[in-house]
């Protein structure tokens, strides 16, 4: 025998198990043998759902952009201007965009690319606008001045 004491043998520790992943890390398994296969199936399904959502969700959430002369003429407005900005990513095509929040929380995004920018310059964010279908006359309600009727003039392309 040896001159030094030998400690008693300890029982092996139990392997830790995660609820979804199971025994996928190998070793002796007392549970189902295909738990790693289930994890791969779950992972593949999650990735597929995310890729499909990435393709279709932006199209569903996108607001309709009113930009053609016919749409501008036939559109009705009754709400307040919430955003006003210009998209000048291309110097030849400057898009003047107004976001109008109507009654009932409906939003309309108007692109005045084919219109004279004078209308865009005369309106501001807190103003209320009202427009009937079939005309390009817009009644603008301001807080400090009386109501003004502005006309959207379309450019001939």
pLDDT tens-digit series, residues 91-121: 888 999 999 999 888 899 999 998 998 999 9
The pairing of strands 107-111 and 65-66 is parallel
pLDDT of 22 > 70? The answer is: no
In a domain, 95, yes or no: yes
The reported pLDDT for the residue numbered 37 is 66
The reported pLDDT for the residue numbered 121 is 93
3-state class (DSSP) for residue 108: strand
How many domains are contained in the chain? Answer: 1
In a domain, 136, yes or no: yes
In a domain, 145, yes or no: yes
The residue-averaged pLDDT of 6-20 equals 80
User: What's the order of all strands across the beta sheet hosting 77-90?
Assistant: 65-66, 107-111, 93-102, 77-90, 128-131, 137-141, 148-151
In a domain, 53, yes or no: no
In a domain, 41, yes or no: no
Range of the domain at 142: 65-151
The reported pLDDT for the residue numbered 41 is 85
| Higher local confidence (pLDDT), 148 or 62 | 148
């Amino acid at each position: 025998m040896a001159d030094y004491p030998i400690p008693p043998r300890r029982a092996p520790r139990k392997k830790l198990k995660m609820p979804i992943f199971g025994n996928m890390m190998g070793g002796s398994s007392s549970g189902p043998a295909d738990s790693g296969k289930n994890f791969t199936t779950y992972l593949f399904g999650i990735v597929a759902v995310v890729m499909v959502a990435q393709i279709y969700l932006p199209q569903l959430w996108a607001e309709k952009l009113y930009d053609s002369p016919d749409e501008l003429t036939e559109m009705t407005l009754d709400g307040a201007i919430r955003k006003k900005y210009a998209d000048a990513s291309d110097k030849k095509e400057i898009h003047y965009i107004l976001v109008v929040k109507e009654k009932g929380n409906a939003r309309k995004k108007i692109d005045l690319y084919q219109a004279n920018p004078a209308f865009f310059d005369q309106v501001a964010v807190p103003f209320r606008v009202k427009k009937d279908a079939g005309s390009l006359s817009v009644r603008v309600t301001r807080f400090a001045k009386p109501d003004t009727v502005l006309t959207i003039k379309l450019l001939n392309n």
